[in-house]
Structures are given as structure tokens and as C-alpha cells.
Amino acid sequence: MTTLIVADDHPLFRTALRDVTQQAMPNASLVEASSFAELMSVLGRHADDTAMVLLDLHMPGAHGFSALLFLVAHYPDLPVLMISANEQEEIIRRAADHGAAGFISKSADTETIAEAIAAVVRGDLRFPDWVDLSRPGVTDEESGVADALSELTPQQFRVASMISQGLLNKQIAYELDVTEATVKAHVTEIFRKLGVHSRTQAALKLGSLDLPAPGDVS
């Protein structure tokens, strides 16, 4: 059976997306994830039969576009449809440049969302008509960070995300249930791949993936 993953941290919106997704793909099996760690766990079980990920732009455990970058790098044949209330053209162009298969607004009507889901599953792209995708969305710096993130293993990705949140090695080891020595080894590899020498430099690099402050939008 075809699986569709709905990844959003808001329970009510996940429920709404579940209803719309069932309308678009009535025979699909739906799986929900409320954080990026949960999404990785779900993919570990359903990667082979997943047809699409519907991904919230603001996911706990991810840093800006890092969740999208990770999915594109590690699951290149799995289309990712971004959904967000943050509809700035720059955001949508960056999502497209980073490999998203589409972008829809959380304020879109159910018919529009359902049509976009079905289209992306078919292999089509779905971005708002008013967005000029011929214009570049990412800077050279952001592109370089994206390339570096694509080389991280899933565990290194989680460690990098925690570094960007300011967690220390001891805290990361506790969260991941691994030894501090294991975290140090991951940090060394992350620094090497990002081309940095400190946690501050790593956090600044990852900061290039940040999103414009959306106010109360998520």
C-alpha cells in the first residue's frame, strides 16, 4: 500500500491535512510525524513504500531548510511537498532551489491542497503561479552549506541541529542516548564537512538556512 507522510508539529493541522490527504489519495496509508526526529523514525520503517512527504516548513529538530535538504539528499526519489503559512516569494524560491517538489500555503482551500498532493505524487511540480522560479533563490553561501549538510549521516544531522540550538556535548549525548565520546566524534566530522573549527562557526553556517522571521506565522 502507498504511504503518505504528514509531518507537522501542530496536531490540529495534522488532522486537517490527514482529511485533505485522504480526499486526494483515498487508498493511501497515512502516517504522521510531529518532529524531524519522528519523521526520520517513520521513514526508517516506511521509506520503501512512501510516495510523498508533506513537510511543514517549521519542524522541531530542524533548522530552516535543513529538513528538506536532508530528505532530498538521503531520499532523492521521494518528493517533498512543502506547506507553510509563510508565503514570501523568497522562501518559495529557496524551497524550489533546495529540491522541493512543490509549495502550498496553509491558507489554501482543501481542493487546492488535495490537487497539489495528487499532482506531486504523480511526479509533477506544484508551486504558486505568481512565483518566478527562474530567479535564483539561494546564495552561494547557502548552497555551500546545503552541499555540506547533504554529506551528513542521519545521526550527524541530528547532532548538527542540536549544536545550532546551543546544546552541549553532554546534553546531546543524553538526548540521543549515546556516549559523550560518540558525540565528540560526530562533532569532529560535522566541523570537517562544514569547514569550520568551532560550535559558533557551525551555528553561523547553519544560520544561512534560517527563514525570515514570520511573526506569528508558522
Residue 59, CA distances (Å) to 75, 84, 97, 114, 156 in order: 18, 11, 19, 21, 17
pLDDT tens column, 83-137:
988 888 999 999 999 999 999 998 899 899 999 999 999 999 999 999 998 888 8
* Position 172 confidence tier, pLDDT thresholds 50, 70, 90: very high
Note the pLDDT of residue 20.
87
Phi, psi at 164, each rounded to 5°: -65, -20
d(CA 63, CA 125): 24
pLDDT tens column, 13-48:
888 888 888 888 888 888 999 998 899 899 988 888
d(CA 21, CA 113): 8
d(CA 195, CA 31): 37
Whether the pLDDT of residue 80 is over 90: the answer is yes
Note the pLDDT of residue 71.
92
Of 77, 131, 85, 130, whose CA–CA distance to 104 is shortest? 85
- 143 is written with which cell numbers? 548552497
- 1 is written with which cell numbers? 500500500
Phi, psi at 157, each rounded to 5°: -60, -45
Whether the pLDDT of residue 150 is over 60: the answer is yes
Sign of the torsion angle spanned by Cα atoms 29, 110, 118, 128: negative
How does the average pLDDT of the chain come out, rounded?
88
Note the pLDDT of residue 214.
47
Note the pLDDT of residue 212.
61
* Position 216 confidence tier, pLDDT thresholds 50, 70, 90: very low
pTM score, whole prediction: 0.85
Whether the pLDDT of residue 1 is over 70: the answer is no
- 190 is written with which cell numbers? 560535522
Mean pLDDT of 187-198: 94
Kindly tell me the number of DSSP H helices and DSSP E strands found in the chain: 10, 5
Mean pLDDT of 169-187: 95
